[in-house]
Chain A
Amino acid sequence: MTLTRREALGLTAGAAAFLTLAPRIAFAAAEETEAAIKAFTGGATPASGKVSLDTPEIAENGNTVPVGVSVESPMTADNYVESVMILADGNPAPGVATFHFTAMSGIAEAKTRIRLAKTQNVIAIAKMSDGSTFMDKKEVKVTIGGCGG
């Protein structure tokens, strides 16, 4: 398909408009996300493993992105997952949700639907009853609808 003159003009002007608009939008900086992780773990760096995030590779719309998390744990009274914090490092604020489990949860799994302002990392940090922490991270590409519709 060939571009009409009008479309070609729009393309150039649009690119310029995007460049001037983009920096005005503030998003959660890496430091803020880092700080949220440290606050949750008490300063420790979470290990990898045990926790796994289930996210779509690409979301059709950032308003409703399904997110699931599961943590390996026997979930007994003295060995269970206390909580799992979900963060998104490209949103205006990194916090998304924190799930609190108990031994009565049976298994440490939860699902919800979240908002992602743009393509970014979704992070899950699990805190076990012994205080150890584990992390998983997945990138979710957020697409923009056809003609903005």
Chain B
Amino acid sequence: MAKIMKINVLSAALFGAGMTAVVMTAPAFAEEGVKLVIDGEELTTEVAPQEGNPLDPVRSGWTFRSEETQALETDDFENPGFPLVDYGEELWNTADGSTGKSCASCHGDASESMKGVRASMPKWNKEKNTLFTLEDYINLSREEHQGAKPWKWESQEMLGMTAYIGLQSRGMPVNVSIDGPAKEWFEKGKKMYYTRYGQLDLACAQCHEDNQGTMIRADHLSQGQINGFPTYRFKWSGLGSIHRRFKGCMDNIRAEPFKRGSDEFTALELYVAWRGQGLSVETPAVRN
């Protein structure tokens, strides 16, 4: 217990130091205007904001990383997220549950049926009358159509499937709808973005809007875009979900984090996705 408290104090202290820009060294950032090209296809990593978006320009987290980190995303073989994408593809074609159906039994070729899906998530589900993340849609299919047990949010199965489905939208612009009943969730997410949380009393906006591009200790603060999720993070040594990343931020500011899949994180996901409208989907991205 005592040790845990010490570590918390330590991270708070280091955080404080970062905010005053006490930084000795910084990684070699890639030159301005470097293009993200994957297998000959150029992705949009910088785009003008739509009306109401305070970010100008809107920039992918890729543009904030060092050359070495950036390079790993430009080659699908070197990208360490791909073994799990392969696993997702395998699961797509594997029968599961009481009906003996696979995803492919109903949805066929994912490269056609799932194209654009990631780009529009989270999305209003009329039938269920609530906002649905990609994970929610996958588990709905598993429970109601396959007769299978839902996957845990952060399981290898769920990450493999979200990565495989997400990859089918790679290169397409993020384009979430905030119209109709989704508007209320959007507003809730927006309110959260600007609300201070935790013992460090920080809002998302203080780091990812006001201080984007500056150094927080030796780290280059990004806009907190989510266009590359699930993302392979070196820190995680694996792929992780959007909600895991949100939870990580809340832990760091010493706040009581919301649960993965909670209404709070789903609302925040919609708002943060909207802040990245127009950026290419990069799933599975590579970050530090």
Contacts of A78 in B (CB 8 A): none
**Residue B20, interface by CB 8 Å:** yes
Interface centre among A57, A147, A148 (most CB of B within 10 A): A147
**Residue A130, interface by CB 8 Å:** no
Q: Which of A37-81 contact B (CB under 8 A)?
A: 56-61, 63-66
Contact assessment for A21 and B6 in the assembled complex, using a CB-CB cutoff below 8 Å: yes
The chain B residue with its CB closest to the CB of A113 is B80
**Residue A26, interface by CB 8 Å:** no
Total A-B Cβ pairs within 8 A: 123
Contact assessment for B234 and A144 in the assembled complex, using a CB-CB cutoff below 8 Å: no
Contact assessment for A11 and B253 in the assembled complex, using a CB-CB cutoff below 8 Å: no
Contacts of A145 in B (CB 8 A): 217-219, 235, 288
Mask for B55-91, Cβ within 8 A of A = 1, else 0? 0000000000111110110000000100000000000
Contact assessment for B10 and A18 in the assembled complex, using a CB-CB cutoff below 8 Å: yes
What size tier do the contact residues of chain B reach?
35 or more
Mask for A1-13, Cβ within 8 A of B = 1, else 0? 1010011101111
A-B contact pairs, 23 of them (CB 8 A): A7-B15, A12-B13, A14-B12, A14-B14, A17-B10, A21-B6, A56-B27, A56-B28, A58-B27, A58-B66, A59-B27, A60-B219, A61-B235, A61-B288, A143-B26, A145-B218, A145-B219, A145-B288, A147-B15, A147-B216, A148-B11, A149-B219, A149-B252
**B contacts, CB < 8 Å to A:** 6-7, 9-21, 25-28, 65-69, 71-72, 80, 199-201, 207, 216-219, 221, 233-235, 237, 248-249, 251-253, 288
**A contacts, CB < 8 Å to B:** 1, 3, 6-8, 10-15, 17-18, 20-21, 56-61, 63-66, 141, 143-149
